[in-house]
Amino acid sequence: MILYAKQDISSQDIDAVVAVLKSNYLTQGPKVPEFEQAVCNYTDARYAVATNSATSALHVACLALGVGPGDLVWTSPITFVASANCALYSGADIDFVDVEPSSGNMSPAALAAKFAQAEKKGRLPKVIIPVHLAGHSCDMQSISSLAAKYGVRVIEDASHGIGGSHGEHKIGACRYSDITIFSFHPVKIITTAEGGIATTNDAQLAEKMALYRSHGITKEPQKLHRVDEGPWYYEQQTLGFNYRMTELQAALGVSQLLRLDMFVEERNRLAQCYRDGFSGSNIKTVDPLQASLSAYHLQIVRLPNPEERRVIFEKMQADGIQVHVHYFPVHLQPYYMSLGFKPGDFPEAEAFYNRIMTLPLHPGVTQSQVKFIVDKLLAHVAA
């Protein structure tokens, strides 16, 4: 089976994790700060807060921005459910902004229309969460200037995106957002097994996210309410969680980060093979914006005929090719439908979903495997 995604673990990665196992600290030692600093250096963000998943990072990001009961958050319907769940964890309401038909990313035109409507109704969101689907940057210039116009904060869900850029700015630099989230789940670009991180240039947001990550507890003397209790004293100042990353994970992250650019280059090379393979056919690759470098988490293609997707999917699997679909629209999940969303609410997202298929793309795939996959898919679509 050619897997759709797979981690790439080197002997250096293994040595880095084993070294932590032999050290004094399995958690709350020097490796997490080292990983955070390495991600700051890479992305050019000022602060980074590592967590045990991107899901947790999205949650602490919402809390740090003050999202709570009575607030509203908007994200894309074409994403993993975590992009929306974080609003509900925070006690806020969720809504969605429809996507661009070619990219599946949040549509600036739909966002502009929805903002105008929301302003009329007197209920603007507190935060919007655009998602860089497949690692392809959303049109962040348009999205961030619209958000600024309405006084709305922005979290980029760049779970697919580490290693990519918008224009000359690395994703994670937060040039167009308050906070950026990355995921290090094994299917993503680099891995810490489970793990995530939030980057920001705002010291206060970083401090709040760090507080929420660790029970709402601080030990830093200058932040304590009770100054004279004693050197053993730590203080819980808000209701936080245990969302900490372990030292084992951070060591793996530091080691993986050294090969990030190589992974992204290889993913782009393979994506070019897919583009070349499908050019002139009725299978359309989902491509990044001109002025951005994609980390290429996923190779998504749009098929000519939604009615044939199921059959073609099953034929690909039978050929030993693990295909996938990213994503079933979040608003049509039974849980979200129980909140009142229904088919037809986001027609572009639903139309996008109906045609898409994800093909294998990761550094363990060879160019000849890509040719094999392209040939099979072309044959099944023509049949």
Shorter beta-carbon distance to ligand PLP: residue 129 or 146 = 129
The answer to whether 8 and 365 are in contact (CB under 8 A) is no
Contact residues for 344 (Cβ-Cβ < 8 A; gap 6+): 350
Q: Tell me, residue by residue from 139 to 178, as one string, x for binding to ligand PLP by CB under 6 A and - for no binding.
A: ------------------x-xx------------------
53 binds ligand PLP (CB under 6 A): yes
Among 7, 43, 55, 294, binds ligand PLP (CB under 6 A): 55
183 binds ligand PLP (CB under 6 A): yes
79 binds ligand PLP (CB under 6 A): yes
Both structure tokens of 162: 């580490």
In angstroms, the Cα distances linking 24 to 14, 219, 251, 320 are: 18, 20, 14, 45
Shorter beta-carbon distance to ligand PLP: residue 209 or 273 = 209
Stretch that binds ligand PLP, among 76-84, 117-125, 256-264, 360-368 (CB under 6 A): 76-84
In angstroms, the Cα distances linking 102 to 163, 296, 351 are: 22, 16, 11
83 binds ligand PLP (CB under 6 A): yes
Site for ligand PLP in 258-297 (CB under 6 A): none
In angstroms, the Cα distances linking 58 to 210, 223, 374 are: 13, 25, 36
370 binds ligand PLP (CB under 6 A): no
Min CB(128)–ligand PLP separation in Å = 14
The answer to whether 369 and 2 are in contact (CB under 8 A) is yes
Among 166, 185, 213, 362, binds ligand PLP (CB under 6 A): 185
Min CB(282)–ligand PLP separation in Å = 28
The answer to whether 267 and 367 are in contact (CB under 8 A) is no
The answer to whether 84 and 346 are in contact (CB under 8 A) is no
| One-character DSSP codes across 337-379 | HHTT--TTSSHHHHHHHHHEEEEP-STTS-HHHHHHHHHHHHH
80 binds ligand PLP (CB under 6 A): yes
Both structure tokens of 134: 């497949």
131 binds ligand PLP (CB under 6 A): yes
Residues that bind ligand PLP (CB under 6 A): 53-55, 79-80, 82-83, 131, 157, 159-160, 183, 185, 196
